[in-house]
Amino acid sequence: AQKVTQAQTEISVVEKEDVTLDCVYETRDTTYYLFWYKQPPSGELVFLIRRNSFDEQNEISGRYSWNFQKSTSSFNFTITASQVVDSAVYFCALSEDYSGGYQKVTFGTGTKLQVIP
């Protein structure tokens, strides 16, 4: 069965500090997808990134970067020079290819990030 672990429940940083959110996953499949979502106080989930299991290239998007390490089953998310607007709950998720047109998405329990001005 697939599993996503986000060991950090809450993190507080001072504005402009860098912060890394950890994500460790378990899956038996060789084909899978990893995601990060942001949930601001308003509640809805905002998609940030998707990676497939065959692409281990790290990605940078502005202040956000993601480090995918298949050897350690980790998909960590770093925010550089954090800002107050980054305060939110961040979810890591894993999706596996299932036959029959279904993808099962499993979410971690989330990491609450508080950026202090």
Partner 1 sequence: SQTIHQWPATLVQPVGSPLSLECTVEGTSNPNLYWYRQAAGRGLQLLFYSVGIGQISSEVPQNLSASRPQDRQFILSSKKLLLSDSGFYLCAWSVWGPRLTEAFFGQGTRLTVV
The residues of the shown chain that bind partner 1, judged by CB under 8 A, are: 6, 33, 35, 37, 42-45, 47, 50, 52, 91, 93, 95, 97, 100-110
> Closer to partner 1 at the Cβ: 54 or 71?
54
The nearer residue to partner 1, 28 or 44, going by C-beta atoms, is: 44
What one-character-per-residue DSSP string does 2-39 give? -EEE---SEEEEETT--EEE--EEE-S-SSEEEEEEEE
Q: How far is the CB of 100 from partner 1 (least distance, A)?
A: 6
Q: Give CA–CA dist 34/16, Å, rounded.
A: 27
Least Å distance, CB 78 to partner 1, is 20
Q: How many CB atoms lie within 10 A of CB 57?
A: 7
